[in-house]
Amino acid sequence: MHPAFSVVFFTTATGAGYGLLALLGIFGGFQIIPADFWLGIVGLGLALGLIAAGLLSSTGHLGRPERAWRAFSQWRSSWLSREGVASVITFIPAGLFGIGWLFFGRTGGWVAIAGFLAAIGAVVTVCTTGMIYASLKPIAQWHSRYTLPAYLIFATMTGSVLLNALLQSFGVASIAVLALSLLITLLGWGWKLATWRHNDRLEIPTTANTATGLAGGTVRSLEWPHTEENYLLKEMGFRIARKHSAKLRRITQALAFWLPMLLLVAVFSVPYPFAAVLSALAAIAQFAGMLVERWLFFAEAKHTVTLYYGR
């Protein structure tokens, strides 16, 4: 599948944004993190900013972005429509939570309830994003039990590493958040390794034989219907060389998992300003690593239409 940058950025940014929003809602609601004005404005601003930037970026790959409002209508059948509805509805409790935190200076009572509702909305929205990909049967690498948990794990992971960086920067570090960000990064690494292992061993029942209805023997493409690449090949025939794939997997692991884990372990034992710098570096490295991960998620996915072209 062609890794369109608008979609790669969209899923990475909204994942981190919804992860951060959910954790702010939960940790704020339970009063584990202080209702500090500047922490609130930077934290919620970053979360909602990432979400808004991601959603805006996703309209970048639409052919007719001016009609994007129509996408809220078919939630009965379409995961993409459900994603749109869930993302907009989540802004309501998130906004109330922000008003309570920033203008009333409190995160208890009704503000806590708004925070929990925002967290639920964030989880639902990330699930709908994951299901867009997990429900596509022509793409075996996506239509697997690994896809939906991956979206949830990576959203929590990038969100918690961001939250830790914020808390460390404001000098209100929480060991619980630091430990969570470290553990979930480890989980994310394990999940990605398991996913790659699963995908590398995939035995896809759809072949050139079943695609053409020609039973038995071998089916070899002799001639394409066209001489130049068409929409199908540009959009779904994207291929990545095996050697680049191996190298990019190492880059993903180094940036998204190994480096953040090393930095976060170091944060346990260094004092305030250094801990903040290391935490921020962990968040930046992980975001860059997740962009590579999401690029690979597309580039390594093979659509059944490529069978018609002998690919």
Partner 1 sequence: MTCLPAHPDKKLGLVIDLDTCVGCQACVTACKEWNTGGHMAPLTDIDPYGGHVDGVWFNRVHSYEHTTEMGGRTVNFPRSCLHCETPACVTVCPTGASYKRASDGIVLVDEDKCIGCKLCSWACPYGAREFDSDVGVMKKCTLCVDRIYNDNLAEEDRVPACVAACPTSARHFGDLGDPQSAVSQLVAERGGVDLMPELGYHPTNKYLPPRAHTQRAASVPAKALEPVRAEGGFLGWVDRMLSN
At CA 69, angle to CA 67 and CA 70, rounded to 5? 75
From 201, 203, 227, 269, residue interacting with partner 1 (rule: CB under 8 A):
227
Bridge partners (DSSP) listed for residue 303: 139
CA distances from 282 to 92, 162, 289 (A): 31, 8, 10
Among 175, 215, 241, 246, binds partner 1 (CB under 8 A): 215
DSSP-derived 3-state class of residue 15:
helix
Q: How far is the CB of 154 from partner 1 (least distance, A)?
A: 21
- Which residue from 293, 266, 291 is spatially nearest to 280, judged by alpha carbons? 266
Of the candidates 175, 217, 269, 271, which one interacts with partner 1 according to CB under 8 A? 217
**Shortest distance (Å) from residue 146 CB to partner 1:** 18
DSSP 256: I
Of 161, 247, 143, nearest to 204 (Cα)?
A: 143
CA nearest to 305, candidates 242, 216, 234: 234
- Minimum distance from residue 90 beta carbon to partner 1 (Å): 17
Q: How many Å apart are CA 105 and CA 82, to the nearest integer?
A: 33
Q: Give the whole-angstrom CA distance, residue 247 versus residue 94.
A: 40
x/- contact string, 169-208, with partner 1 (CB under 8 A)? ------------------------------------xx-x
Using CB under 8 A as the binding criterion, the count of chain residues that bind partner 1 stands at 59
Residues 20-79, interacting with partner 1 (CB under 8 A): 61-65, 67-68, 70-74, 76-79
Does residue 219 touch partner 1 according to CB under 8 A? Answer: yes
Which residue from 124, 139, 150, 256 is in contact with partner 1, where contact means CB under 8 A?
Answer: 139
Is residue 220 involved in binding partner 1 (CB under 8 A)? yes
Return the residue matching tokens 């346990």: 268
Which CB sits closer to partner 1, 41 or 68? 68
Give the x-and-dash track for 284-303 against partner 1 (CB under 8 A). Answer: -------------------x
What is the rounded distance in angstroms from the CA atom of residue 194 to the CA atom of residue 212?
A: 33
* Using rule CB under 8 A, residue 138 touches partner 1: yes
* Contacts with partner 1, residue ranges (CB under 8 A): 1, 61-65, 67-68, 70-74, 76-81, 84, 132, 135-139, 205-206, 208, 210-232, 235-236, 303-305, 308-309
